Amino acid sequence: MINPNKHVRIALINVLSAATSVPFYDTMLPTDVTPVPSSYGIIYNQTMSPYDVSKANYDWLCGVNIDLYDIGDLGSNNSDTIDDMEEDVLNALENGLDVNGFIVQEVSFLKSETVNGQSDTNSINRKVMTYEIWINRV
């Protein structure tokens, strides 16, 4: 049995970095990334559950959050930028995903949530998108 999480994460980081023209990272923005990009994405909070298990088949239902950030000057609002990033993600995953070593049966967009905030110096536009990915081992 092979844990699909890293394979799904790598596939998402690669396809979304190309589709959105912003960098995507695993779990958090690395501390050695300088300068900090004003727009970026994080792949995190993965889940997996056995799905459609039989003697001949072992499928997984993998959940993942895609966190989109656009950081601007304090008091600024970049809703259009974050909406464009979200649209790019939706379009990139609309026709599925290639995950090395697995057959992707279905990619389902579940929801999107706006979670804006601010720090002492910046306004932070943020969207959290949730997907479910049904895969099985090749």
CATH number, residue 100? 3.30.2000.30
Q: State yes or no: pLDDT of 56 exceeds 80.
A: no
pTM of the shown model: 0.91
Q: State yes or no: pLDDT of 63 exceeds 90.
A: yes
Across 31-53, average pLDDT? 91
Say how many domains are in the chain: 1
Q: 59, 51 in Cβ contact below 8 A?
A: yes
List all residues 6 or more positions away from 36 whose beta carbon is below 8 Å from its beta carbon.
29, 71
| Widest distance between CA atoms in the chain | 58
Per residue in 87-106, is it b (16+ CB within 10 Å) or e — as a string? ebbeebbeeebebeebebee
Across 133-138, average pLDDT? 87
Residue 101 lies in domain = 5-137
Could you say which DSSP state residue 74 is in? Answer: T
Q: State yes or no: pLDDT of 32 exceeds 90.
A: yes
Confidence of residue 53 (pLDDT cuts 50, 70, 90): confident
Q: 129, 45 in Cβ contact below 8 A?
A: no
66-120 tens-digit pLDDT: 999 999 989 888 889 999 999 999 999 998 899 999 999 999 999 999 999 999 9
pLDDT of residue 50: 87
pLDDT of residue 113: 97
Residue 16 is encoded by which pair of tokens? 């979304």
Q: Which residue, 102, 104, 112, 107, is CA-closest to 92?
A: 107
pLDDT of residue 78: 80
Across 28-56, average pLDDT? 89
pLDDT of residue 75: 84
